[in-house]
Amino acid sequence: MNVSSSRIERERSIVRRKLPSNTRFLAVGGTEGWVYDLVCEFGNQYTMFVYWDGSMYKVKMVYPDPGSLPDDVHKHHYFRNGVICLTSSVGYARLEDAYAKSVLFATAWSAFQETGEFEF
């Protein structure tokens, strides 16, 4: 068993216990990760993709499309490549922490879309 497959098996166990039941494994362009749908506190739907980049777990917002944004990432915590800013280092060491922060992000993003202010 190679390193990637053993990591995926460990992740699969975490996904079963801690992520939504709709979470599924996805490999896209050499990147392997987990895609899941969620509904934020305001009732808006999101699709996120959490993946290991070799040093930390990062999350991409797959849906909704963010539209045009100001260049200052600090105003909206969203990078042009789709990665959401989870911390100052942009990710987490643990899959479940990246997932939890993505749920918080979805609620803050919904508020940002209405007010133009990011709440955290």
Print pLDDT tens along the chain (120 aa): 566 789 999 999 999 999 999 999 999 888 999 999 999 999 999 999 999 999 999 999 999 987 766 666 666 677 778 888 877 677 899 999 999 999 998 998 888 878 877 676
For residue 39, tell me if it sits in a domain: yes
94 is a domain residue: yes
The amino acid at residue 53 is D
| CA angle (46 as vertex; 89, 56 as ends), nearest 5 | 25
pTM of the model: 0.88
Q: Specify the number of domains making up the chain.
A: 1
Among 53, 57, 49, residue whose Cα is nearest residue 91? 57
| CA pair distance 41, 111, nearest whole angstrom | 10
Host domain of residue 13: 3-115
Query: Is 20 among the domain residues?
Result: yes
Q: In this structure, which amino acid lies at residue 16?
A: R
In a domain, residue 120? The reply is: no
